[in-house]
Amino acid sequence: MNFDFSDDQKQLRDQARKFLAEKCPPKAVRAVLDGKAPYDRELWKGLAEMGFLGVAIPEQFGGAGAGHLELCVIAEEMGRALAPVPFSSTVYLAAEALLIAGSDAQKSKWLPKIASGEAIGTLALFEGTGNPSAKAVKLSANGGMLNGVKKPVADGAIADFAVVAARSGASGRESDISLFLADLKGGGVEIKELTNLDPTRGQAELAFKNCKAEPLGAAGEGWSILTQVLDRAAVLTAFEQVGGADRALEMGRDYALDRIAFGRPIGSFQAVKHMLADMYVSATLARSNCYYGAWALSTNAGELPEAAAAARISATQAFQHCAKNNIQVHGGMGFTWEFDCHMYYRRANAVALGLGSLSYWEDALIERMRKKNAA
Amino acid sequence: MNFDDTPQEAAFRAEAKAWIGANAPKQYEDELRQSSLGRVRLEGADILQVAKAWQKKKAEAGWACLHWPREYGGRGASPIERVIWQQEEGPFGKLSGVFIIGHGMCGPTMMAFAAEHHKRKYLPPLASGEKVWCQLFSEPAGGSDVAGLRTRAEKSGDDWIINGQKIWTTGAHYSDYGILLTRTDPNVPKHKGLTMFFLDMKSPGVEVRPIHQANGQSEFNEVYFTDVTIPDSQRLGNVNDGWNVSLTTLMNERMSIGAGVATGFPEIFEFCSGLMLDDGPAIEDRAVRSKLANWAVKASGLKYTSFRAISALSKGERPGPENSIGKLVAGSMIQDVATYALDLQGAAGVLSGPEAELAGKFQAMLLRAPGTRVEGGTDEIMRNIVAERVLGLPGDIRVDKDVPFNQIPTRGRA
Ligand SMILES: Cc1cc2nc3c(=O)[nH]c(=O)nc-3n(C[C@H](O)[C@H](O)[C@H](O)COP(=O)(O)OP(=O)(O)OC[C@H]3O[C@@H](n4cnc5c(N)ncnc54)[C@H](O)[C@@H]3O)c2cc1C
Ligand SMILES: Cc1cc2nc3c(=O)[nH]c(=O)nc-3n(C[C@H](O)[C@H](O)[C@H](O)COP(=O)(O)OP(=O)(O)OC[C@H]3O[C@@H](n4cnc5c(N)ncnc54)[C@H](O)[C@@H]3O)c2cc1C
């Protein structure tokens, strides 16, 4: 058994950490937080130059052709640094959807642009309140024309193209759903930026009005493709969450060592020590679940649906837990704009929702386990 | 990243599997599979005898304490081979319960500190289960703070004379030997005046009194020492260096990776899969699912944490500190699992005998669970360990650190 990343992969992680420490310090995250830019363009360019955007994209489509384990270690670092770039939308969602369902022409058109940083992509799935569900998809596709409203769409205001979930049939089944590729710069879409919990990653409303779009994957296969995309993105996002959780834990630990109250470091009070120990426990459980998810993702194992749900749940809990208690350890300082704690708290809670919330994945995990058990 | 065995590991696994298939006491397999925390019972058989017989059979074929050196009763197997063995032994591993303390803590301490001729004499029958060992550390005055213990050892010629009382000694009533931590110098701070020995539990002056536990069973005991003589040759480590010796023991406790700690997850998942609620199967209920999912990811998180440790072992590295979270997570989880299983049973959850759901499996689990959160280091002590050893936070302020032992207060409110 070798349930660990390889030395090369660990080296890649170190390289990504170093790069991000330099190019994405908290100051850079704050620039986006404070609304000075919709995302960090310089960083995005840098990530492309490092080959990180296309790390899991095959060489024939302009990527590095490394693999998903490599993407996992980079994702962890992106989460740790709170990188304010459309990485998850573009790389975990749009690129994965293209890799699973795209025609050669579609892949050739978009994947090289993703790898080079020229194109930002996203997934337009949600239509208001609610979790991923075929029933909730109302946006219609008729003769290649999309009509309807998607919101929230992560990074929708800066994306060049979107994978859009649309209703193309009326049978009342999941097979009514098909996916489309919409060029967001080609007209027929009204885009409105929305305020959100975590301004370091934008959210938008996309109103499609007779927007011409081409099918992605076979008609009626939309929901099944989406399910796969969400599972794959769940693992990758879980790595971001674990990276964020670890960083929040470190921040809390460091502050506890430095801050003196009652004549001693607050890290010497058991109430604080035990809070930090519990943060370590949840981060560790999440990391281990993520490793299993990474294995399943990289080998396309039959266990992926379960492994992805477990990684997602565990990592969501860990990041939320570590981010909120990091603020607690910081006392009043944790509740200021100046301290970085709230940026992790915002990200932890925003990223908990994007691919379907905790309750959605809890339900999915047990449903998947039940099915496997019954089989 | 892969779960594959190396060719040697695969060969070893095949050999272990074949031997277990041919030799394990299959007649108990179902009952063992159904056994969970608080209830490991075999109908119409004495579990201690069944356990000893299985251990002896393993020893004869070289499968007992397989990671120990050959001369001490093992087969010199690698840590990873030990893990593979535990995986293959499956439910039959539950029979090792009575040997855990001897094999996991006493044996390694003997190996590190006993004289060579003692190792050769005592370790093989410990490995083979012919002799059972117990750990005599805790006392009324020293559990978490085990260095606060008061049992005296006084030198008399080539012997030591022991007087005092131990408590919570698991298995003392069926143990042949024990490792014993004593105070040899009360005039120095508490950690500096301890000495470790091993002794024959049949020595004159040793009296074992079973303790009636909160769950109705009697696994642990009080052990009284009245002028018990131990030859100096049975001292483990230097005089007054018992604290360091005991750290070896406790370290081994934490290093033992493998079969994994019981979380109760398989039991609660199975229970919910078969249970009908008013409005349909429990497993389809959103609230039930949410609970199950939370426990599922804890159980899988622990499982894959141990896989990470196993991988480190397999590469010849030392496992990281992440392995220390197992008991902390599993202890309170299994307690919550049992509580919830009863909740799902409604008023009938109150029944605990043969009339109860699953013949009272979860009720037994509920009643045994508090002990898990205390034995081998309480939840709070485990959190202190994680905070201090893993996260590097300051140790507790120790008001008794530099005070001679005999000047430390012995009562809280007067
Ligand atoms: C919204 C808000 C409004 C406020 N309004 C006012 C106001 O109007 N007037 C005013 O005077 N102050 C005000 N405060 C300050 C507030 O009282 C302090 O923030 C609070 O007492 C914590 O002190 P601290 O921020 O210095 O954190 P610290 O004392 O440094 O605490 C940091 C962490 O250490 C823990 N800790 C500290 N000591 C111990 C201990 N002995 N045992 C265990 N844990 C310990 C804390 O619980 C916390 O988790 C306000 C704070 C906030 C957030
Ligand atoms: C089922 C079972 C089997 C056992 N088997 C054995 C055995 O075979 N051999 C053996 O030697 N012992 C054995 N023990 C004893 C066990 O190691 C002790 O019970 C345990 O270490 C706790 O000590 P205590 O009972 O004295 O509780 P205390 O140490 O008095 O603890 C009481 C409470 O105070 C808390 N506390 C104590 N110190 C601290 C601290 N520094 N910081 C925060 N909280 C603290 C504890 O967490 C606990 O909640 C067994 C116990 C049980 C329950």
Same domain, A112 and A171: no
Interface of A with B in 339-368 (CB under 8 A): 359, 361-363, 365-367
| High-pLDDT (> 90) share of chain B, % | 80
Q: Which domain holds residue A269?
A: 230-374
Are A211 and A266 part of one and the same domain? Answer: no
Q: Provide the mean pLDDT of chain B.
A: 93
Q: What total number of domains does chain A contain? A: 3
The string of pLDDT tens digits covering residues A352-363 is 999 999 999 999
Q: Please tell me if the CB atom of residue B143 comes closer than 6 angstroms to any atom of ligand 2.
A: yes
A216 and A235 together in one domain: no
pLDDT of amino acid B256: 60
Give the residue from A220, A242, A261 where a domain finishes: A220
**A216 and A240, same domain (yes or no):** no
Residues A215 and A240 in one domain: no
Q: Which long-range contacts (CB under 8 A, 24 or more apart) does B287-292 make?
A: B288/A366, B288/B344, B289/A362, B289/A363, B289/A365, B289/A366, B289/A367, B290/A359, B290/A362, B290/A363, B291/B340, B292/A366, B292/B268
CA atoms of B247 and B259, how far apart (whole Å): 23
Band the pLDDT of B255: cuts 50, 70, 90.
low
Interface test with A, best of B13, B300, B397 (most A CBs within 10 A): B300
Confidence of residue B258 (pLDDT cuts 50, 70, 90): very low
Q: In this complex, do B384 and A370 lie within 8 Å of one another by their Cβ atoms?
A: no
- Asked whether the predicted pLDDT for residue A145 surpasses 60, the reply is yes
Give yes or no: residues A158 and A289 share one domain. no
Angstrom distances, CA of residue A361 to CA of A15, A354, A357, B153, B290: 32, 12, 7, 59, 9
β-sheet bridge partners, residue A149: A207
Q: Which of B26-35, B81-90, B233-242, B369-378 has the highest mean pLDDT?
A: B233-242
What CA–CA distances, in Å, run from A346 to A235, A288, A319, B97, B141? Answer: 20, 24, 10, 47, 48
Does a structural domain hold residue A193? yes
Domain annotation covers residue A93 = no
Q: Which domains, from first to last, does chain B contain?
A: 7-131 (1.10.540.10), 134-244 (2.40.110.10), 261-390 (1.20.140.10)
Shortest Cα distance from B72 to chain A (angstroms)?
Answer: 28
- Judgement on whether residues A74 and A12 belong to the same structural domain of the protein: yes
Claim to verify: residue A234 and residue A215 sit in the same structural domain? no
By mean pLDDT, which of A154-168, A233-247, B218-232, B256-270 is the weakest? B256-270
Tokens at residue A175, please?
A: 């097979």
Same domain? A204 vs A236:
no
Do A364 and A328 share a structural domain? Answer: yes
Q: Is residue A2 part of a domain?
A: no
Average pLDDT estimate for A204-218? 98
Cα–Cα dist A6/B382, whole Å = 31
A83 occurs within a structural domain: yes
Global model pTM greater than 0.90: yes
Residue B253 pLDDT: 61
| Nearest Cα residue to A236 out of A137, A40, A350, A90 | A90
User: Does ligand 2 come within 6 angstroms of the Cβ of B220?
Assistant: yes
pLDDT digits (tens, 9 = 90+) for A155-210: 999 999 999 999 999 999 999 999 999 999 999 999 999 999 999 999 999 999 99
| CATH code of the domain containing A245 | 1.20.140.10
Q: Which residue's CA lies nearest to atom 16 of ligand 2?
A: B375
Could you report the per-residue pLDDT of A301-360, keeping only the tens digit for each?
999 999 999 999 999 999 999 999 999 999 999 999 999 999 999 999 999 999 999 999
pLDDT in tens, B339-388: 999 999 999 999 998 899 999 999 999 999 999 999 988 999 999 999 99
Q: Residue A160's domain is classified under what CATH number?
A: 2.40.110.10
Through-space distance between the first and last CA atoms of chain B, rounded to whole angstroms: 60
Co-location of A113 and A157 in the same domain: no
In this predicted structure, what is the pLDDT of residue B29? 95
**Rounded to the nearest 10 degrees, what angle do helices A270-299 and A304-334 cross at?**
150
Structural contact between residues A331 and A363, judged by C-beta atoms closer than 8 angstroms: no
Residue B11 has pLDDT above 90, yes or no: yes
Q: In the predicted model, is pLDDT for residue B254 greater than 60?
A: no
* Residue B312 pLDDT level (bands cut at 50, 70, 90): confident
For the residues B390-404, what does the mean pLDDT come to? 92
Residue of minimum CA distance from atom 42 in ligand 1: A269
Range A110-134 average pLDDT: 97
A276 contacts B387? CB cut-off 8 A: yes
The rounded distance, in Å, linking the Cα atoms of A4 and B300 is: 16
3-state SS of A279-309 is HHHHHHHHHHHHHHHHHHHHHCCCCHHHHHH
Mean pLDDT, range B98-109, rounded to an integer: 93
